[in-house]
Amino acid sequence: MKTLRIIFSFLLISAPAFAQEATTESGFMRDPFADPLFPLYLVIGFVFVTAVLVVLVALYMLKVLNIFIRKAAEERAEKSGIVYTPEPGYFSKFWVWINGFRSKEEEKDIMMEHSYDGIRELDNHMPPWWKWLFYATIIWGVGYLVVYHVTSSMPLMEDEYLAEVEKAAEQKAKLLAANPPAVIDENALVYEHNEEILKKGRTIYVTNCASCHMADGQGSIGPNLTDDYWLHGGSIKDIYLIVKNGVVEKGMIPWAPVLSPEQMRDVSFYIKSLKGTNPPNPKAPQGELYVEEEAAPAADTVKIAGL
């Protein structure tokens, strides 16, 4: 045992050095034999297994010893000419003690005097374990009152919740400060075929919009998004505003509280890209025909007469 203590102490002292020499090695789960603490784990496992075996052997020896003691008691009783009565085991004694059981000889001491149609009852007290549990709850309640309400050593549930909310708000503010959300100027929004934006927009569309407009945009409860007819305007600005503010009277919720401006921009671009995709079962056109406005020519391309 002394040798094991020496080995255990040596491993505890040398573990930091092993860790410094093997900082580039893989973790324990990936390669346990390369872990610098593997010898320590091995010794701990060996000590644990040894302790379990010692306990099992001790229990077995105790059982064998009880058998010899019982046989010796039986022989003494036989020689004395009396009937051998085995004593209850330790667990049986503990069970009787913790429950406050009384023997048949002691029942006369707790017999109630009143008779109920010839039936007499025993005046049994509460089991000791129940009374101890009750006393423990009283002590716990007093301690709780002192800790939480008198000294305020620990926060109440509501205070703890508010502290966690405040902590989360601070973390959110730090994240937003480090990664500020994109500012979308809806008045200057211009559609462009950007694959990255369209990919993100499709994900948002399938998650939130396909239930009413179908995954391919052919329309179902909501209108067809692939033709040239629009109920509220077909420009990219109109689509963005519809996504942002919704059409509550027709069952479309405003998505501004759910999606960020950048996400609303992405899904609006994707909806705009669905034009002319010709799905197999398109819904009948709704609204007015929308004709895309042509961009004004650049100033340097305009020819002025007389110049």
What one-letter code names the amino acid at 237? Answer: K
Q: Please, are residues 209 and 267 in contact by the beta-carbon 8 Å criterion?
A: yes
Please, are residues 281 and 287 in contact by the beta-carbon 8 Å criterion? Answer: no
Handedness of CA 255, 259, 260, 262 (dihedral sign): negative
Tell whether the model's pLDDT for residue 12 goes beyond 60.
no
Among residues 287, 266, 269, 268, which one has the least CA distance to residue 224? 287
Residues in Cβ contact with 181 at an 8 Å cutoff, skipping those fewer than 6 apart? 260, 261, 262
CA distances from 209 to 206, 222, 244, 246, 261 (A): 6, 9, 13, 12, 16
CB atoms within 10 A of CB 290: 17
Span 17-39, mean pLDDT? 61
Structure confidence at residue 29 as a pLDDT band (50, 70, 90): low
What is the 8-class DSSP label of residue 228? S
> CA-to-CA distance for 20 and 297, rounded, in angstroms?
68
95-115 per-position pLDDT tens digit:
888 888 887 777 777 788 777
Residues in CB range of 194: below 8 A, 6 or more apart = 269
- Higher-pLDDT residue of 299 and 229 is 229
Q: What is the pLDDT of residue 36?
A: 79
CATH fold for domain 186-289: Cytochrome Bc1 Complex; Chain D, domain 2 (1.10.760)
Q: pLDDT exceeding 70 applies to what percent of the chain?
A: 86
> Which tens digits make up the pLDDT trace of 186-230?
888 899 999 999 999 999 999 999 999 999 999 999 999 999 999
Cα distance between the two ends of the chain: 108
Taking the model in full, what pTM does it have?
Answer: 0.45
- At 259 the pLDDT is 93
Q: Which amino acid is at 226?
A: T
Over the stretch 155-178, which tens digit does the pLDDT of each residue have? 899 999 999 999 999 999 999 888
Phi, psi dihedral angles at 247 (to 5 degrees) = -130, 85
Burial 163-175 (b: 16+ CB within 10 A, else e): eeeeeeeeeeeee
CB 132 within 8 A of CB 118: no
pLDDT classification of 6: cutoffs 50, 70, 90: low
Could you tell me which of 261, 209, 275, 272 has the C-alpha nearest to residue 235? 272
Helix (H), strand (E) at residue 112: strand 111-116
What pLDDT, on a 0 to 100 scale, did the predictor assign at position 166? 96
CA distance 93 to 33: 49
